[in-house]
Structure 1
Amino acid sequence: MNQSAPPPTVAATTAKTSRRAVMLASSIGNFVEWFDFTLYGYAAAAIAATFFPSGDHIAGLIGAFAVYGVAFVARPLGAVVFGRIGDRRGRRTALGTSVVLMGAATAAIGLIPGWAQIGVAAPILLLFCRLVQGFSAGGEYTGAMAFSIEHAPDDRRAWYSALVGASTWLGTIGATGVMLAFQAITGDGFTGGGWRWPFLIGGLLAVVGLVLRMRVDETPAFKAMQANAPAQQPARPFRELLRGHWRTLLTLFAYFAVLGLFTHSFLGYMPTYLAQAGGFSASAVLWLVTIANVVSVPAGFALAVLADRHGRRIQLRLGAVAAIVLVIPAYLLVGTGNLVAVVAALLILLLAVTLLSTGAISVLELYPTNVRFSGTALPYNVAYAIFGGTAPLVSQLLVDGTGSLVAPAIYASVVALIALPLLLRIPETRGTSLLR
């Protein structure tokens, strides 16, 4: 009588793949994504001057932020396409394709002629490149998270997910460093064309990402599903999600709405807010945000260690409450223009974002393998399209429309308050098996 062997643990089945290679492959694409998106936020003024008619600085800036937000419209479509590929063909295939598209679109932004050369075609081409960036990003972060934790030992999944989360901040730090370098090198010529070089560098980084990802095995959880229960692979992952997991989808939409709003308010709008409300120069803004991002990396790893030892839910709940009660005081501190107060405000905002980000591991652990990629990518990208990508534009419009520099903070707090009941429903997932 044949007896089936018990399913292997993730730790045992990862033996053939170097953990260092897994960590690099998981993180590099997310690094490139956030490197590219952060470049756009920091270069918004130069992009507005290059791709939009001269003479109206505010209109150009709003146009640049609008294009920033439009990229997120393509994210849900990317989630559908890459989610299907990831759950049907494998995580590695989806991630390799996404990083190539992201890099090509980023490099193209650095090559597009401006309004003075080709007129209205300039912002149209910029818009197209941003749509491609958004489409490719639709499968990047959630796919990288799934790829990472499915390779991780069961008792270190939060740590592995923190590596992907750290690549977010490292991407912003890298983009900031490159921007500072080219500002120093090109001086007054930065707005005239010096801003383009960082985008070309982003394209080269994507090539490195592709090579790293193609050298790593598919995840043990996905291979186990293929070998032991190929019938579990859904022909239409999103149909199965809507039928069998709609409550989880709704809860995760609320979670990603808050996380996306706070993350992109910080990355996409905070540089502008620091200049407007705090009166800081462009270079001072870059340094301030960089220092805050550097601090967030070890903080994220420390919280990951606690999450692996004591669970994820407490950090998620603390982050949700912090998003409600701390954001308005933080914006008020920025408005003082005092350097110490501004640094404190940035650290407060990053604390809320870092605590919330730890909850991403719970999101992935809620799903079985056959819909894990799709089930995370769909709510993540729909929420980011509505709340994340529009954060800089809505924030600027709120300031212009109300005359209150604290209006964006009130908006963020209200969204977090509405989402709180659903966030409190996310269960503790520490110890949950991924091989299911």
Structure 2
Amino acid sequence: MSRSAPSATAAVTAASKSRRTVLFASSIGNFVEWFDFTLYGYTAAALAATFFPAGNHVAGLVGAFAVYGVAFVARPLGAIVFGRIGDRRGRRTSLGISIVLMGAATAAIGVIPGWAQIGVAAPILLLLCRLLQGFSAGGEYTGAMAFSVEHAPDDRRAWYLALVGSSTWLGTIGATGVVLAFQAMTGAGFAGGGWRGPFLLGGVIALVGLVLRMRVDETPVFKAMQAQQPAERPVRPFRELLRGHGRTLLILFAYFAVLGLFTHSFLGYMPTYLEQAAGFPASSVLWILTIVNVLSIPVGLVLAVLADRHGRRIQLRLGAVAAIVLVLPAYLLVGTGNLAAVVAALLVLLLAVNLLSAGAISVLELYPTKVRFSGMALPYNVAYAIFGGTAPLFSQLLVDGTGNLLSPAIYASVVAVLALPLLLRIPETRGTSLLR
């Protein structure tokens, strides 16, 4: 007995260490994805000045936001490719490939010559890099979700998912900190070329993520599914989805449409909105958003603990209602230009996003193992392509076209109202077996 006790303790310690490595490996790719996308939003003005003709600031900014949105067009294709790999070859394989492509595209943005050097080829190359980023992101977030949750203890799935989800905000915080650091180092030269350093750094972080992912094992749930699957019947995830899970795909599309619109309105457009509506300088905007993003992390983790103990559906429904009734008052507060009111408004918006994000564990648990990766990736990326990626561009066009700074808030509320009947149909999934 004296030998077995230390052996059992060592096994528990090894399992705990393995799960920490899994969480870190899952999170770092998501960190890089959101680091990249947030970095683009925060440097939109510098990118517009670099890659588009001089002389028309508004046209350059709209062009930069258009390239931001076009990247999302490639995400559904990435969802199909990486979803197929993830459900047939394994989550680990898919995540390894996606982070390599993402890192390469991010670093490439940092070395592309501008319009002054190569003319129209500059925005074309920028567009190609963004398309590659979007393609690789098509399998990143949903793959990391499946990978982490399938490694998690059954009673801590929401907690594991929240830890990976917190890397979203860490990515935005990291991007903000890096931009502030490079602005401090380069001063007025940031717009002239200092902005390139953060993109090169993103490529380096992706390489670190690849090494970490190659050190972790495939999920126990996926390996068990492979053992049960007859060799002569390979998994055809998208055929399975369309035949047996059409209703779930529609519900998840509505869910991710609302979540994507709110998330990218905040990350991609809010920096510009704070400058236009509230009159804050760019450096102050970055500091404000960093503080708010830091505060959102513990909120998300607390919600995850509650979801594991009491269920997921109540948070999802509260988030759906908050997306309808709170967004317009929040934008009105931002428009006051008062610092305290602006911070309060941003916290309200992030609370709605965090409540909606808590529902991601429910939609993940709706699927059987053999289509879980694809079933998440497809509606997530199609919805984000239509509503998430276009959020900054469409918001800017609404403001320019109507002259009403509240038009982005009205648009977000209308989308949430239309999606509400489908969101209310998501069932409680706490306690559902993942291996089925």
Alignment partner, residue 30 of structure 1:
30
* Contact 2:87 2:235 survives alignment (8 Å): no
Q: How far apart in 2 are the matches of 1:398 and 1:172?
A: 25
Alignment partner, residue 310 of structure 1:
310
Q: How far apart in 2 are the matches of 1:233 and 1:249?
A: 24
Q: Residue by residue, what CA displacement relative to the aligned partner does 1:163-192 show, whole Å, maximum 9, x if unpaired?
A: 111000000000000000000110000000
Alignment partner, residue 350 of structure 1:
350
The 5-angstrom pairing of residues 147-166 of structure 1 reads 147-166=147-166
Q: In structure 2, what residue type is equivalent to 1:397? A: L
Q: In structure 2, what residue type is equivalent to 1:309? A: R
Alignment partner, residue 207 of structure 1:
207
Q: How far apart in 2 are the matches of 1:239 and 1:259?
A: 26
* Contact 1:258 1:419 survives alignment (8 Å): yes
Alignment partner, residue 365 of structure 2:
365
* Contact 1:88 1:233 survives alignment (8 Å): no
How many percent identity over aligned positions?
85
Q: How far apart in 1 are the matches of 2:281 and 2:419?
A: 35
Q: How far apart in 2 are the matches of 1:230 and 1:96?
A: 26
Q: How far apart in 2 are the matches of 1:87 and 1:20?
A: 23
* Contact 1:256 1:380 survives alignment (8 Å): yes
Alignment partner, residue 423 of structure 2:
423
Q: How far apart in 2 are the matches of 1:97 and 1:230?
A: 26
Give the paired residue count: 425
SS state at 1:194 partner: coil
Alignment partner, residue 167 of structure 2:
167
SS state at 1:192 partner: coil
Alignment partner, residue 126 of structure 2:
126
Q: Residue by residue, what CA displacement relative to the aligned partner does 1:34-59 show, whole Å, maximum 9, x if unpaired?
A: 00111000000000000000000000
1:180 and 2:168 aligned: no
* Contact 1:265 1:392 survives alignment (8 Å): yes
Q: In structure 1, what residue type is equivalent to 2:277? A: A
Q: In structure 2, what residue type is equivalent to 1:423? A: L
Alignment partner, residue 6 of structure 2:
none
Alignment partner, residue 227 of structure 2:
227
* Contact 1:88 1:234 survives alignment (8 Å): yes
* Contact 2:235 2:370 survives alignment (8 Å): no
Q: In structure 1, what residue type is equivalent to 2:64? A: A
Runs of at least 4 residues of structure 1 off by over 6 A?
A: none
Shift in Å, 1:316: 0.2
Cα distance change, pair 305–46 in 1 and its aligned pair in 2 (3 A): same
Q: How far apart in 1 are the matches of 2:321 and 2:333?
A: 19
Q: How far apart in 1 are the matches of 2:235 and 2:299?
A: 40
Q: How far apart in 2 are the matches of 1:236 and 1:355?
A: 33
Shift in Å, 1:239: 1.5
Q: Give the superposed CA RMSD.
A: 1.3
* Contact 1:17 1:216 survives alignment (8 Å): no
Alignment partner, residue 100 of structure 1:
100
Q: In structure 1, what residue type is equivalent to 2:100? A: V
Q: How far apart in 2 are the matches of 1:265 and 1:205?
A: 26
The 5-angstrom pairing of residues 28-67 of structure 1 reads 28-67=28-67
SS state at 2:217 partner: coil
Residue ranges of structure 2 left out of the alignment (5+ in a row): 1-10
Alignment partner, residue 137 of structure 2:
137
Shift in Å, 1:227: 1.2
Alignment partner, residue 290 of structure 1:
290
Alignment partner, residue 279 of structure 1:
279
Q: How far apart in 1 are the matches of 2:129 and 2:294?
A: 29
Alignment partner, residue 112 of structure 2:
112
Alignment partner, residue 5 of structure 2:
none
SS state at 2:186 partner: helix
Q: Residue by residue, what CA displacement relative to the aligned partner does 1:357-407 show, whole Å, maximum 9, x if unpaired?
A: 000001110000000000000000000000000000000000000000000
Q: Residue by residue, what CA displacement relative to the aligned partner does 1:76-128 show, whole Å, maximum 9, x if unpaired?
A: 00000000000000000000000000000000000000000000000000000
Q: How far apart in 2 are the matches of 1:271 and 1:288?
A: 10
Q: How far apart in 1 are the matches of 2:127 and 2:25?
A: 29
Q: How far apart in 2 are the matches of 1:21 and 1:298?
A: 21
Shift in Å, 1:233: 6.7
